[in-house]
Amino acid sequence: MEGDKRKPRSGVQSVEQGARILTAFASVRGPVSLTELSRAVGMPPGKVHRYLVSLGRSGLVEQQPVTGKYELGPLSLRIGLSAIGALDPIRYASEALPRLRDVIGHTILLTIWGDRGPTVIRLEESGDSITMNMRVGSVLSVLTTAIGRVFLTYLPRSTTQKLIDEERDRKDGAHSRGRIPGLDPDSISAEVRRHGLAAIDSAMLPNVVAVAAPVFDYQRALVAVVGTTGLKPLLDTRPDGPVARALLDTTASISGRLGFDAGAVPAPG
């Protein structure tokens, strides 16, 4: 509420207490007893019960008739579905790009999976002139770019297989198989999963390197990939380096706004 000038401090304290109780429901899986709730929020059971009466009347919480335990009610479902409907991955990601560019100091690309593969939908350019003719609408390789490799890793293979095959056929035409090593999709995926991001430092274009990281939504689906690219000596591509860290911090924060629960999936590595 920082933007509000009128009454910066005055609120309704019991609303915040009620919200604390709702938060406890969101943390505990399944129905909870009054005692458990009271312990979770650190309030006496009698007080928690008064709140539950009103949360129940409102439909935010429901008491199970048989067990007497409490769970989230139909209004919680409704506001949740409404909040999901309002989620806007592209806006959240776009809002984060300028700051990320300032931290990293290199051009930042926001990409989604389009008809023809990884597609640039937003570009936040830095002072460095290295954008490799990249612009909004550009389609990237799934095998040889960092961004493409993140899509390759986290999209179902049924979505990516056709493009993988096409790209490999093209490479095989231009070069004898084996001249460009490391284009096996499974090895690429394994590498990306290990670090939670893709880094290309021995690029197809000499000296052009790149790092890219995934954005997931509440259904754990990959919805976008954020990447950065630059010249080899200038852009740090180490998976534990500051560029990678800034990128991962940003994509984790966007994913968080989309309801992604990182704790619910096996950690990379």
Residues forming contacts to a copy of itself in the complex (CB under 8 A) are 1-4, 6-7, 9-20, 22-23, 25-26, 29-30, 49-60, 63-65, 68, 71-87, 218, 256-257, 259, 261
Closer to a copy of itself by Cβ: residue 5 or 116 = 5
State the nearest-atom distance from the C-beta of 138 to a copy of itself, in Å. 28
Closer to a copy of itself by Cβ: residue 37 or 146 = 37
Q: In what order do the strands lie in the sheet with 222-231?
A: 117-124, 107-114, 222-231, 208-216, 198-200
State the nearest-atom distance from the C-beta of 65 to a copy of itself, in Å. 5
Closer to a copy of itself by Cβ: residue 234 or 262 = 262
**From its phi and psi, is residue 220 left (phi > 0), alpha (psi between -120 and 50) or beta?**
left
State the nearest-atom distance from the C-beta of 261 to a copy of itself, in Å. 8
Closer to a copy of itself by Cβ: residue 71 or 172 = 71
Residue 79 · residue 67 · CB < 8 Å:
no
C-alpha to C-alpha distance for 245 and 182, rounded to whole angstroms: 24
CA dihedral of residues 37, 42, 44, 49 (deg, nearest 10): -30
Closer to a copy of itself by Cβ: residue 86 or 267 = 86
State the nearest-atom distance from the C-beta of 112 to a copy of itself, in Å. 21
Give the relative orientation of helices 45-58 and 13-27 as an angle to the nearest 10 degrees: 90
Closest to 87 in 3D by CA, of 265, 266, 268, 257? 257
State the nearest-atom distance from the C-beta of 157 to a copy of itself, in Å. 18
